[in-house]
Amino acid sequence: MLTFDARPADGAPRAGVHALVIGVSSYPHLPGGSAAQPGSAAAGLGLTQLAAPALTAYRVHQWLIDHREELPVPLHTVRLLLAPSAEELDAEPSIGRPPAGQPTHAGIRAALNDWRADLARFAKSMAFFFYSGHGLGGTGEDALMLAADFGDPAVELLDRAVSITDVEQGMAPPRPGGARTIGRRQVYFVDACRNRPPGLTADTARVPTVWDEQVDTAEADRELAILLATINGQQAYVGAPREATVFGQALLECLDGAAAEAAEPDGSIRWSVSTATISSRLPERMEERTAQLRVRQSFRPGRQLMPIRLVTFAETPRLEVTFPVTGPTPAANLRVDLSDLSGVTSFNPLELPVRAHPVPMGHYGIVARAVVPPPTEERRAVRTLRPPRHEFAVDL
Partner 1 sequence: MSNSDASDPGTLVVQVAFERPELREAGLPVQVRHLSMATVAVGRTGEPIAIAPGRYLVTLTLPGGDELYEQVEVAAGATSTVELVPPPAAAVTAPVDTARWAAQRYFTAVADDARVEFEGAPAPASPRTVHLRLLAGNPLDPPLRTVGAALVRFDRHEVTLAGHGKLPPLPLAPTGQGALDPDRYQLVLRVPDGDVQVLWLRVTAPPERTRFLAVPATPGETCTLLLTRAHGITPEFHVADPWVDALLQYGQGGDVTQMRALLDTGVAADDPSLVRRLVVDYTVLRVGTTPDVDAGPALMGDAAAPLPDSRLIEAERAARRGEHERAQELFIGAVDRGLPMFSDGLGYLSTRVPQYLRLRGTASAPDPPLLDRLVDRWERLRPLLDAADLKPAILTLRGNVLRYSDRAP
Positions that interact with partner 1 (CB under 8 A): 138-142, 163, 165-166, 169, 175, 196, 203, 205-209, 214-223, 231-234, 261-264, 269, 275-277, 279-280, 282-284, 287, 290-291, 294-296, 298-301, 303-307, 340-342, 362-363, 382, 384
Q: Mind giving me the DSSP string for 147-215? A: PTTTT-TTS-GGGGEEEHHHHHHHTSPBPTTSS----SEEEEEEES-----TT--S-GGGPPP--SS--
Nearer to partner 1, 65 or 263 (CB): 263
Q: How far is the CB of 137 from partner 1 (least distance, A)?
A: 10
Please name which of 6, 90, 20, 93 lies closest in space to residue 61, comparing C-alpha atoms. 20
According to DSSP, residue 302 is labeled E
Nearer to partner 1, 100 or 319 (CB): 319
Please name which of 110, 62, 53 lies closest in space to residue 82, comparing C-alpha atoms. 53
Residue-wise over 233-261: b if at least 16 C-beta within 10 A, else e?
ebebbbbeeebbbbbbbbbbbbbbbbbbe
Across the beta sheet with 261-263, the strand order is 261-263, 270-274, 309-312
Q: How far is the CB of 127 from partner 1 (least distance, A)?
A: 16
Nearer to partner 1, 56 or 277 (CB): 277
Nearer to partner 1, 269 or 371 (CB): 269
Please name which of 134, 98, 376, 350 lies closest in space to residue 238, comparing C-alpha atoms. 134
Nearer to partner 1, 117 or 218 (CB): 218
Q: How far is the CB of 262 from partner 1 (least distance, A)?
A: 4
Angstrom distance (rounded) from CA 303 to CA 312: 26
Nearer to partner 1, 144 or 370 (CB): 144
Q: How far is the CB of 221 from partner 1 (least distance, A)?
A: 6
Q: How far is the CB of 217 from partner 1 (least distance, A)?
A: 6
C-beta of residue 309 within 8 angstroms of C-beta of residue 274: yes
Q: How far is the CB of 305 from partner 1 (least distance, A)?
A: 5
Q: How far is the CB of 145 from partner 1 (least distance, A)?
A: 15
Distance set, CA 254 to CA 26, 133, 378, 389 (Å): 27, 20, 33, 12
Nearer to partner 1, 22 or 207 (CB): 207
The phi-psi region of residue 32 (left if phi > 0; otherwise alpha if psi is between -120 and 50; otherwise beta) is: left
